[in-house]
């Protein structure tokens, strides 16, 4: 199921046409003869409970969706030339987790635009196996050369696809060259970089996204 996330149709805050969600719905058919009591919990980035729904499983799920969408979703009025994405704890800890912030912003960036991620990544790359996958990854076909599925390939695949239409920059504590292996271009001075990006476009549209790993920009 996880590897179905290589498809861009598996987007944040999307269920219809989402191969991950639809596969999970299919699997639930095997439990259709059972009565399942569901408890749906919505938490914020500090693990505080912000919503709690109990009852019939599917009904409570959709109740929680309505609440979570209003809590974490933001409908952008336009697509932006530049998005400055601040990544907050705990998802700012390592390189492995950054894909979430990039995903949450990509739908509201113009083609050829820029996402500038600000994340300390004090724990380094996070997943060694994920990082090693990149050594065998084929960026042209966006898949493993052997065609074999491996846990974590959805992250490589999706970031690889994102950088083909959007510039993905990262300011972090990682040494130069480390993030490039998994398609994030590292920068040393975010202010100078931002100045250059602004100078390169006439009246660029810019958005600042707080807590980008938990804020989903939805564009019309």
* Higher pLDDT among residues 124 and 142, named by residue: 124
Those residues with Cβ within 8 angstroms of residue 90's Cβ, 6 or more apart along the chain or in another chain: 45
pLDDT tens-place string over residues 21-58: 999 999 988 888 888 899 999 998 788 999 999 999 88
pLDDT tens-place string over residues 133-188: 777 777 676 665 565 556 667 888 888 889 999 999 999 999 988 999 888 999 99
Interval 85-101 mean pLDDT: 92
* Higher pLDDT among residues 220 and 81, named by residue: 81
DSSP state of 112: E
DSSP state of 171: E
Give, for 3, the enclosing helix (H) or strand (E): none
Q: Is the pLDDT of residue 117 over 90?
A: yes
Specify whether the CB–CB gap between 40 and 61 falls below 8 A.
yes
Q: Exposure of 63 by Cβ count < 10 A (0-12 exposed, 13-18 middle, 19+ buried)?
A: middle
């Amino acid at each position: 199921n996880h590897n179905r996330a290589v498809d861009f149709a598996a987007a944040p805050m999307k269920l219809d046409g989402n191969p991950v969600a639809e596969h999970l719905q299919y699997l639930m058919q095997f439990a259709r003869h059972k009565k399942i009591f569901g408890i749906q919990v919505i938490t914020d980035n500090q693990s505080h409970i912000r919503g709690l729904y109990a009852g019939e499983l599917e009904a409570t799920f959709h109740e929680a969706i309505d609440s979570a969408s209003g809590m974490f979703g933001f409908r952008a009025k336009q697509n932006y030339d530049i998005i400055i994405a601040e990544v907050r704890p705990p998802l700012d800890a390592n390189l492995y987790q950054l894909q979430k912030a990039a995903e949450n912003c990509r739908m509201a960036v113009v083609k050829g635009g820029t996402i500038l991620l600000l994340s300390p990544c004090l724990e380094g790359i996070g997943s060694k196996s994920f990082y090693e996958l990149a050594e065998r990854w084929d960026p042209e076909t966006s898949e493993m050369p052997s065609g074999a599925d491996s846990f974590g390939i959805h992250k490589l695949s999706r970031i690889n696809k994102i950088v083909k239409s959007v510039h993905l920059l990262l300011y972090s504590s990682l040494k130069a060259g480390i993030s490039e292996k998994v398609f994030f271009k590292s920068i040393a001075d975010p202010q100078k970089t931002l100045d250059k990006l602004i100078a390169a476009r006439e009246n660029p549209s810019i958005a600042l996204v707080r807590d980008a790993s938990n804020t989903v920009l939805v564009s019309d």
